[in-house]
Each structure stands twice: as structure tokens, then as C-alpha cells.
Amino acid sequence: MEVKLHDIGEGLTEAEINCFLVKPGDFVQADEPIIEIQTDKMTAEIPAPRAGVIREFKVEPGQTVSVGTTLLIIEEMQAKRSGSLERVFSIPKKSESFFSVQERKKRILASPFTRKIARENGVPIENIIGSGPAGRITDEDVLGYMNEQQQTVESNIQAELMLNEATVEHLPLNKYTLPFRGRRKQIAKKMVQSKYTIPHCTHFEEIDVTEIIQFRADIKKLNQNVSATAFFMKALSICLKEFPIFNARLDEENEVIVLQPELHIGVAVDTEDGLIVPVIQNVENKSIRNIQNEMKRLTEKALANQLSVKDISGGTFTISNVGPLGGSIGATPIIQHPEVALISFHKTKKMPVVTDDDQIIIRQIMNISMSFDHRVADGATAVKFTNRFAQLMKDPKMLLLELV
């Protein structure tokens, strides 16, 4: 008989095959669990409808199937009236029975959300040793495994890139290759997810940063070296409190936009292995000096490839300062999904500006690009946001008035 995926409740339409709890040739009793499936809300076990022998699997672990799909074939055990068996089945040997029991003991204990984290990050959850009760795998176990694997992959990449001169000489001209794995592959995966999920819209603006540059020069004379990015981040924290729609997440399943009260701002860092975004937590509660110190600490860890999962998790908004690299006058930055906005600071240059009384003066003008999720916010709101940021940059005294 065919065992099919049936609706186990809550309007199930499809499920993912987690694992088999039996193997071909096993004898099973009626109602004995034979397959574990994962829906979008829970993990469930499919029981055997009849006693019999597992003959063939029709699906594979990791496959997503719809309701009505045949999962496996069971050959039923039927008895004649005389009590003898209509078909003789091979009884597993003691060793085979032992291994069958051992396989069933390997069922994975983890919540649906934990499984989702593993699945979305390509983590083989069956390889993780759970730290919870009865060996249950927790969210922290998955994140810890990801961190260990990332460090291992990055170490391997470094080793592969250390090609000696003799090897290079024997490679075909113009056919050198670089591995598309590790961080580079993860960056690609996140960028594709973001572009296919979020309808990006980018707003461009010119910001007068003359006074901020002068203020930095003044405090540098007092042996207080603070980067422009620290000032930008503090100003953005004020703007985000006034325009919380850009510090939000879209929960499509529950049809709500979640306004996040805490400001965890990520700062893109360019490393030899690719872009990585450490996150400064609770920027709204930090002084400009504290932001500078925290940013310096995380940047150093990023460049040394020593960031932990905690250092790169929980971001609610992201900034990218490419101005110091020079030459960049604009871009269309890709949002860090599931965030809803990202702002990029570009090249600053001296430009003639006409004042309100028609005087021409030289000012330091910086270009910015702000990408936002057009499902969540509109262009007019983005303009108001950048106008507020420009106001704080043009007159640092306004910035100081807002500090707590």
C-alpha cells in the first residue's frame, strides 16, 4: 500500500521531509512512526497505517512535497484463516534489528524555529550535538555550529589562496580561479535573497558636512580623534527615532510591520575575504565617543577575522561609508534582509554653493544613497529622513541638542 502525506491540520498544503525513522526491509507495527516531516509551524511524525514491511521510499530527505504525495510503499502482512501467513517475511537478524533501533534513536530533537534557522543557513542539523534536555538542539547550538564552520571554511580559503610561484607558473594564462565558497558564497546568497524579496528603491541626496569636518578638526587639536562615521551614526540614531519606519521589519505572515524600539546599527567593513557587517548594539544609548570605541573594536576584530556570531547578529539598520576609498559619487546599495533600509556615504568634495543672499561660498558636500523597502516606506518619507539627517550634519549644534 502507498503511504501518502495527508493534511494533519491547520490547512497543511506542503511539508519538508526531515528524515526517515525506518529503512527498507524493516518490519513496522501499525501506528509506529516512520517519517518525520517539517511544516512551516511544527515538526510531526507520520505513522504507519498498517503493519508490514517497508519496501521503497518515494521521496528524499530535504525534499518539499505537497499533500497527497506518496511517501513510501509498505507491503502489508495479511493472515489466512488458518492462521498461517499469506507471505513469508524475512525477520531481521539480531544485528540488523540492533542497527534499526539505533537509527530510530537518532531522531532529531529541535523546535520548528531552530530547524528553520538551520535550513535557511544550509546547516545539516543532524550533525549538531544538542545541548538541551535529552540532547535537544537549541538555536544557540545551530549558531555556534555556523560560527565554527565559518571559521573552518575561512581558514581553508586562506590556505587555498596561498599559491606558490611554481603553481602559478603552471596555470593557464588568464584562467586563474578563486574559490566561490565560505563568506563570498554566503554574501552572494544573502544578496540574491534580498534582491528577490525586497522591492528596492534608492534615494540620492547631497549633504553639507562642512561644519562636522571643522568640528572634528577642532576636537582633534584636543587629542580627541573621532571618525566622521561616529557622528553620522549618532545623527542617524536620532533620525531613526523620529522615523521608526526605517528601523522596522516586515512580518508578512502576520501582516504587520514591527517597529523595533532598539537601534542596532551595522557598519559594513571591507576585509580581504569580502564584506562583513559587525553590529553596534543600542546606539541610542551610546555617546559619540562610545560609538567610536565600539566601532574601532569591531572593525579590528573583523579585519583579524575574529568576529563572533553575536558581533554580527541583530542588526536593525545598516550604514556603509565608502567615501574614504575615493571616487564614489553614488550607488544603489542592497539592503541587509530582513532590515528595511540602508544608507551609504560617498565621496566628499569641495563645491561652490550659492547662499540664500546669492553669495557663492565653498562648502564640503557629501553624496549619500539611501535604499529602502518600498513595501514598507514611501519616497516622501525617505526624503524627510535624509532632510533631517542633513539638518543635523549642517549644524552640529542641533546634533548636540538632541544628545542624551
- Is residue 298 within 8 Å of 278, Cβ to Cβ? yes
Active site residue 374: yes
State yes or no: cis peptide before 396, omega within 30 of 0: no
Active-site residue, selected from the candidate residues 6, 170, 346, 374: 374
Crossing angle between the packed helical segments 379-394 and 210-220, to the nearest 10 degrees: 40
The pairing of beta strand 43-47 with beta strand 274-276? unpaired
Residues acting as catalytic residues: 374
